[in-house]
Structure 1
């Protein structure tokens, strides 16, 4: 008999934690997981899944308008926030149930409570129960970062935005990253007046400059207002329930809601990590090696809590690699090169590999190819919005080292194209591929 209650105890039942739990259990490990919020984590409960459903809902605003040019006699339509909100939350409930069923079917014990570390191989639940485990995996994800300033308590984050009682007529969104731009597009399509306030002068840092400039141009054309170099000073709640946002270098803005989307931080506070010797970096992330092991040999971490790449599929890969390596006898290391990403803005962005600036700094001699065009659907609909595809090529080897796209269905197209970049294919390989016509994706093999 083992001296421990479990072979593995996982703190956090998000994407990485659930994957690690069920794979470890499938390898024969005795596994328990503690989740203080809801099974499914950020992605399923308050992140990419409900967000993408709102994105789908927002797209109907343009689709219904464009349908008239395609012969459909569409009556004037009214958007009902309550219906979409409740349907999205019901879908979240359904998915949470499926995640729970997955853990149950793999005989993973689930404690729906908070767990903290009290030793390298021991945790304490909120009710005082102490549990030992040979190994402990931290998979508590990230949490929205809210800067401290007077009145910040009047703002909401991406955690609360899915539960709004009513659709705000005026929304101020703080931040310039993917969350800020995605919700700006969503609320704008729903008819809200949207203002993005950024303390810096750039949106979507890390994405290719031409692509992010194109999104800025299109967003402004759609009516989204941008305030740059305008840090928050305070938020004042007025007698009528509205909010007045005071900014540096900018006039005050009155809004019905303020959404703080200034990034996410590793969710490590209060877990007892430092007390048992787990090293954290300056941002509070758990330091791990390539095997996901922390400075304490019995404690591991995967997902956003390590602040490597904050993407759900990466957390899933890390959870799988951990379980296969430790319990399956299949040592696995996650490869972080050429990880594709998307921004579900309006229109969306897809990207993989190096940006033009990164490629010039690293490779020196590069070639770039672009296609700047209107999608066929937009032409007939009378919509002037243009898509932009960009390919970065290593001039010395002809290898495609980056693909960046903005336009309808860009993430769907990029996923398949990312395989080619990951495989190290060349521009000649793209050129040798026959185009699939008529499609937007064919532009990738017709770049000159």
Structure 2
């Protein structure tokens, strides 16, 4: 086991990792920018090191500063959390070159799955169903048009590198295609330094279903069920739940076993998430995230498995916590991402939290690093915290979520709590009858059927 882990992140995920380390008896090092000097993970860690000014590029993305922090404190491993350097293959390699352990997948797997075109080719080779589309990058000429006609309009133009909705455009007709290709390529070049784009069939009302996997790097891998992340705004997840309201046990086992078998063949190590679009009973691979997910608590609540703890244990050479037939899905869980944003315009609302009261009670969990008097800085994402609830059934879970949302208080800044209080009372949400475009249609006041 590791002696000391440096947590190369901030906010709630840094605190989440710190808690897992403490339960394993591992010493912790918090790194922070000058803007995060009073952060909760800094207060609770065994040691802390300031690695730069507020801007991420000068602090949390500053690899030399992180290496120096490891050297100063004697850390022997680094946990990247999510975001920042968590899917940076070169960072994983550099750590290895300095005899430091990267708590995550092999660099080759990060690099492979970070390229959406190669990821899709690999998924197809491993027997994972994929969305119909181009086999590689396309150019804005007859090549793209021919492929689009073969796939059938509408088509989705997507950046080969990156994600988060950037470099992604829909072309409904031949006339739309040229502009979509140019716009997506320009966005991709600006955001990721790579203008390559490819085409996929645009599904009309799919669900976003993701499968959580855990591999030991030696050919062993299991799946831990699915999460339904279909409630999204601008391709950003807002509400996640598991199990999905639209999958039965047979569908879950079939896609889960397909994914687990693929990860066994890949000899994948650590946690990972394979994301699909699901429509008319069919799954279509869209990408794999080679890191811990923001929504991982949903899986923890329904399986009882501490994913971050297992991620650390396996990185240190440990075995899988159980076999596939020992994985049991228990009840239902929902996570709401409460952001410091105006609930209507979604304009960021950084500032000082004047009053803070997290909800409690049976089956209620808050993953947050804020506290009363904490100032949310304007330099990073706007996440205040994640409210996660668990119930014996989806109905019980929804009622518990409604109660917890009404109980939660965050004053002094604007938050998205009012949005969630409305959503949990919406008939379509209560019925589980929604898709990836539903929330944006709801916000625009359009029909959602």
Please give the TM-score of this superposition, normalised by the length of structure 2: 0.29
- RCO comparison, higher one (Cα < 8 Å, 6+): 1
